[in-house]
Amino acid sequence: MDRLSQLPDDLLIKILSFVPTKCAVATSILSKRWLSLWTLVASLVFEDFSEEEDEEINEIHVRSLSQFVSGTLLLHKAAVLERFHLNSASECSPWEIGLWVRIAVDRFVRDLKISFCYDHCLVNLPSRLFRCETLETLQLRRVILSEVPCRLSFPSLTKLRLLSVKYSDDGSFSRIVSNCPILDDLVVETCHGDNVATFTVHLPSLQSLSFRNTVRESPPDDHLFAIHSQSLKQLDIVDYFGELKLIGNLPKLVEANLQSMSYHANVLESFTFVRRLYVCLDGEAQYPFGTVLFQLVRLELCSCIDSWTDMLVSLLQRSPKLQALKLVLVHY
């Protein structure tokens, strides 16, 4: 520790920014010099992955986490908070989460993550978050959004992760995404009861898009994904129960992953410029007539269905520049 203490404060603060906040705070007992170093770290990461089966013990555990987060924010002195992450296995108070996020926004947060491991948790996100000018990365996982305002703007947001989110209404997703003018990386994962029938993505700036829809509503209420983003370079679709609609060609598409148990072979009509392609489709899917994959050089095809050879022949006949072929068995 003596050699470490010889380092300048700025470097020590930088080192502390790479460890969970609980560990950073623990260094305050080392010496007087370390007492307040952690309060200047521009990154706060709260992680709690333990889950108690006993309801009373779990309630005490949740209260302890909430007190630690609130106390840390109260003592924290950094003028700019670059990162605020909350990864929890336990449910937290919606009001407290809203307060923590509001403090992070007031500190010009750039990277915000609210994530729950098991059950969904209701969160009351403050209205000022939806007008945050500094936010560059946002991830929400297993959260229930109590409200998404009609007017919002994320002028600096470039990366957005909406994983197993339950929205307040059918238009919440579109309102969030459509108000991110420079968004270039979007990941979406559906869940039971997410309250959204149609996921519409119309973003000229978007370069990477990933959709995952592997759950079926009961009664069936399959999702529709409508995508109109002609700047896409990477596209990853795993959709077993929904409907996918690509509007127009994707002239900049470099890599695509299409896994679907629905009839999505027609999507290949938009892949005429793709260079690397992975395909796993329903057994009754037919290759779209007249579609030529002019730029395809690498193809991976899943052979989990009986009629995979028909799809292979069609792809080989319409891929004049193909250089590499790989057959895989992902699903049994």
Reported as a single tens digit per residue, the pLDDT across 163-172 is 999 999 999 9
pLDDT for 187 equals 98
CA distance 138 to 146: 17
pLDDT for 49 equals 62
- Region of poorest pLDDT, from 60-69, 99-108, 268-277, 307-316: 60-69
pLDDT for 13 equals 82
Residue type, 321: K
Q: Are 128 and 108 in contact (CB under 8 A)?
A: no
Q: Read off the pLDDT band of 31 (50, 70, 90).
A: confident
Average pLDDT, the chain: 87
The larger pLDDT score, comparing residue 25 to residue 60, is at 25
| Range picked from 43-52, 155-164, 289-298 for highest mean pLDDT | 155-164
Can you say how many angstroms the Cα of residue 216 is from the centroid of all Cα atoms in its chain?
20
CA distance 241 to 263: 10
| Range picked from 66-80, 112-126, 127-141 for highest mean pLDDT | 127-141
Residue linked to tokens 């129960």 = 241
Q: Read off the pLDDT band of 314 (50, 70, 90).
A: confident
Please give the share of the chain, as a percent, with pLDDT higher than 70: 89
pLDDT for 285 equals 67
Length of the chain, in residues: 332
The larger pLDDT score, comparing residue 98 to residue 13, is at 98
CA separation, residue 319 to residues 153, 188, 246, 265, 325 (Å): 42, 30, 21, 15, 11
Average pLDDT over residues 279-303: 83
pLDDT for 261 equals 65
pTM, whole model, 2 decimals? 0.88
CA distance 202 to 177: 8
Average pLDDT over residues 121-129: 93
Asked whether the predicted pLDDT for residue 57 surpasses 80, the reply is no
pLDDT for 2 equals 64
Name the helix (H) or strand (E) containing 72: helix 55-75
Q: Read off the pLDDT band of 263 (50, 70, 90).
A: low
pLDDT for 221 equals 57
Can you say how many angstroms the Cα of residue 100 is from the centroid of all Cα atoms in its chain?
21
The larger pLDDT score, comparing residue 107 to residue 240, is at 107
CA distance 8 to 5: 8
- DSSP letter, residue 166: B
Q: Read off the pLDDT band of 294 (50, 70, 90).
A: very high
Closest listed residue to residue 21, CA positions, set 9, 37, 10, 32: 37
pLDDT for 224 equals 83
Sheet order of strands, 276-280 included:
43-48, 83-88, 111-116, 137-141, 159-163, 185-189, 208-213, 234-239, 255-260, 276-280, 298-302, 324-328
Closest listed residue to residue 39, CA positions, set 78, 74, 9: 78
Asked whether the predicted pLDDT for residue 60 surpasses 80, the reply is no
pLDDT for 128 equals 94
Torsion on CA atoms 281, 293, 315, 268, rounded to nearest 10: 20
Asked whether the predicted pLDDT for residue 61 surpasses 60, the reply is no
Structure tokens at 25: 């705070």
pLDDT for 112 equals 98
Q: Read off the pLDDT band of 283 (50, 70, 90).
A: low
Q: Are 155 and 128 in contact (CB under 8 A)?
A: no
pLDDT for 212 equals 92
Residue linked to tokens 């679907």 = 260
pLDDT for 214 equals 82
pLDDT for 22 equals 86
CA distance 116 to 222: 25
Which residues, listed in sequence order, are joined to residue 245 by a DSSP beta bridge?
Answer: 226
N-terminal to C-terminal alpha carbon distance within the chain = 54
